[in-house]
Amino acid sequence: MPAYKRILLKLSGEALMGEDSYGINRGTIVRMVREVQEITNLGCQVAVVIGGGNIFRGVAGGSVGMDRATADYMGMLATVMNSLALADTMRQEGMTARVMSAISIEQVVEPYVRPKALQYLEEGKIVVFAAGTGNPFFTTDTAAALRGAEVGAEVVLKATKVDGVYSADPNKDPTATRYSTIAFDEAIARNLQVMDATAFALCRDQKLPIRVFSINKPGALKRVVLGEDEGTLVHV
């Protein structure tokens, strides 16, 4: 039985690139979708927030000097593209996903409505939240914390390239050690970069734990959901 009934999975857009410099790597997105399918087969209800960095990276050169709010809206549109790709891959793998956007693009995806999202989750559908919070100056980390709190997720699973939170950058310091668990206040005191400050504060205030793990590690998502010692748990 899964340790968590309902989760919010936060994926970075960069995680979809695989070995590519930008865009979506087909093999990578299929592998991730199959890992999500494994945990839904265990009875876990899954909501997803995905970033747009992989798409936005392809146009980043032209955004130099651009107004921050305009660039953020472009980033939101990139998350919509990723969300559509993720949902379509899920469909091809025999799953049912619904994309809900924080900004109105009703010809493409349905708007985010909390009761409808909760209904979809109860029905066993995957809910992919697109367009962040719908506001500039807020990251998709903050969107993950916000949506996780709104839908009653038991944990935010932050999928990264690193298999947890370390005492220092493991790529630069070979003596860096991984925390199995760490309290929010200790993470703040040690200045550990778990999420952006707004998202981190929201999770702490809502007593919503964060589990940081590597999405590139085969089977890691399933082990996290089963409550095994995978990644780092940040808790109150």
Cα–Cα distance, 16 to 10 (Å, whole number): 12
User: At CA 75, angle to CA 73 and CA 81, rounded to 5?
Assistant: 110
Binding-site annotation, residues: 10-13, 52-53, 57, 72, 133-140, 160, 166, 169
Alpha-helical regions (H) of 93-139: 114-122
One DSSP character per residue, 44-72 reads -EEEEEE--HHHHGGGGGGGTT--HHHHH
- Angle, helices 140-150 vs 114-122, to 10°: value is 70
Binding-site annotation, residues for ATP: 10-13, 53, 57, 160, 166, 169
Quickly tell me which residue has 């995978």 as its tokens. Answer: 230
Residue type, 39: I
Binding-site annotation, residues for UMP: 52, 72, 133-140
Cα–Cα distance, 156 to 19 (Å, whole number): 26
Locate 5 and state its tokens.
């009934």
- Angle, helices 140-150 vs 197-205, to 10°: value is 20
Locate 99 and state its tokens.
């994309």
CB 101 within 8 A of CB 111: yes
Locate 160 and state its tokens.
């990264």
